[in-house]
Amino acid sequence: MNILLIDDDRDIRLLLKMLLSNYGHAVSECDNAPGALEICQLESFPLMVLDWELGEIDGIQLCRQLRALPHGDESVILMFTGRNSPEEIQMILEAGANDYMQKPADIKWLKIRLQIAIRQAENQMARKQAERQLAIARTKEVEIGSKIQQNLLLGKPPLRYHGIEIAARSIASRKVDGDFYDFYPHDDACFDLVIGDVMGKGIPAALLGAAIKSRILQAMNELKSQTRGLPPDLSRILSYVDAEVTPQLIELGTFVTLVFVRFYLEKKQIGMINCGHPRTIHFRNSEKKSVVIPGDNLPLGVLANGAYSVQTFSYGAGDLIFFYSDGITEARNAQRVFFGEERVVSFVHEKNRLPLGEFIDGLCQTVEKFSGTDALNDDRTCVAVKIMDSGNSSCSDVLELDGQRGSLARIREFVKEFCAAMIGETGDLQPVNRIVLAVNEAASNVIRHAYKDHPGGPLRICVSHQDRRIEFLIEHRGQPFQPPVLETERFREPRESGMGLYIIDEIMDEVEYLVRGDGWNTIRMVYDLRLK
């Protein structure tokens, strides 16, 4: 190791250097305090031997200054001095030195004390190295956890349920926790969603969350084979999962809260099993009232072979059903007051007319403002389901054609006709041109890039509207792509390429690029006339 000797006595420095070099260490010397401080700002020394008497700045002051340097606590400092009163030894220790040796020293004792100091420094180095590796491992754990969360814990809301809009968001705390949600479309009239929270933190909780999701899917597939493909009962699914996971959860000493929900779109009903999760909030548009739906099932992992009761309730046009994790309600402010369910209910009641993305962002910002910090103690997870108003009846149309350049004119005509018919004679037709351009750009990108290697592949343009929101789904079987993050600044300079994505982003209110598992890829775009 590197050792620094600071002593104004040349003979002492020579002696110590000889002894330390014999042990195989590299030794640097300095005869004054300012010089030593300068050296230590450029290089670190696991062991330093200081003299007390150094001139204007003595060894005591130097020791304090060395300890004040970044990483100054990582060195072993040994004071080598003739002073030996208890008060002086106390000063040495209070200045931050680890030990002292008394001058003059018998050479044998000097060797022993130096070896002790060297051993101390080696142990210190090993401990610091272990701490650094632990910090790296922890950072890596968080990165892995974040990837687990994004890839395994958070599902994508289904797209094509007319009259229903779904938004979901999970904001991870500094450490990855066990919040998860997923969606299970059964058919055009029925889908399930689950939102859950595993007790505990870090990768173990995240892995358990992923396991629970996987078990739910396994249960559905297994039970569907018995129900000839019909969606199995919610309680049967959960009992199946319970039988699989509760023994392990009990053994691990953990539990999982969740809400398991089924939407029956034709009957406009919801079936729900709440297992210890924060209560669901339902804004009923017809009554202009927000109600809290209680849950009366125990979390998974509390009791084996639990029975699960399903609650059923109806919904109507304009309703909002809101599910969330306790990271929202248990956020605390500086006075240690919880954000609480009541505040969430108030927010739902006041802000339910917002576009869902803004609604969820708004709630998260409100919680952050309340807590006075953006540091999270727990994940904050929300799933919001909006039932569209029936103000304008939904309608839809589909155009199927080959993905080649000659199809673009037909696509523009199709979009123009649909939008013009939807907006109607009394409406403002100006948006139509912008919408046509954006859809043209998206289709053009698919034709030129997604189908670059095999032109003419199938292209499907689906358009629907509900409550003055027009949704376009451009579906293809070409190469999927994720667009780069747009830099608005670059369009201050003229560019010969790259304008298409910018145009789409500028015109459309929502844009998503989705890869489905069945070979079809989708560009989803929404133009919201309510926002214009």
Can you give the binding site for another protein, defined by CB under 8 A?
405-406, 408-409, 412, 433-434, 436-437, 440-441, 444, 447-448, 491-492, 494-497, 499-500, 502-503, 506-507
Beta strands 76-81; 256-264: pairing state: unpaired
Cα–Cα nearest to 124, from 28, 42, 132:
132
Q: How far is the CB of 433 from another protein (least distance, A)?
A: 5
The whole-angstrom separation of Cα 187 and Cα 427 is 35
Q: How many CB atoms lie within 10 A of CB 361?
A: 16
At 229, the amino acid letter reads G
Nearer to another protein, 237 or 423 (CB): 423
Nearer to another protein, 301 or 500 (CB): 500
Nearer to another protein, 361 or 506 (CB): 506
φ/ψ of residue 30, rounded to 5: -155, 145
The whole-angstrom separation of Cα 422 and Cα 445 is 26
- What kind and span of H or E run contains 90? helix 86-94
Q: How far is the CB of 483 from another protein (least distance, A)?
A: 13
Q: How far is the CB of 454 from another protein (least distance, A)?
A: 17
The whole-angstrom separation of Cα 30 and Cα 216 is 70
- What kind and span of H or E run contains 64? helix 59-68
Q: How far is the CB of 412 from another protein (least distance, A)?
A: 7
Residue 50 and residue 80 in contact, taking contact as beta carbons nearer than 8 Å: yes
Nearer to another protein, 489 or 518 (CB): 489
Q: How far is the CB of 492 from another protein (least distance, A)?
A: 7
φ/ψ of residue 252, rounded to 5: -80, -10
Looking at residue 452, what DSSP letter applies? S
Q: If DSSP states are collapsed to H, E and C, what string results for 158-222? A: CCCCCCEEEEEEEECCCCCEEEEEEEEEEECCEEEEEEEEEEEEHHHHHHHHHHHHHHHHHHHHH
Nearer to another protein, 2 or 444 (CB): 444
Nearer to another protein, 398 or 429 (CB): 429
Report the DSSP beta bridge partners of residue 526.
471, 510
Q: How far is the CB of 514 from another protein (least distance, A)?
A: 22
Q: How far is the CB of 496 from another protein (least distance, A)?
A: 5
Nearer to another protein, 351 or 412 (CB): 412
Q: How far is the CB of 357 from another protein (least distance, A)?
A: 23
Nearer to another protein, 505 or 512 (CB): 505
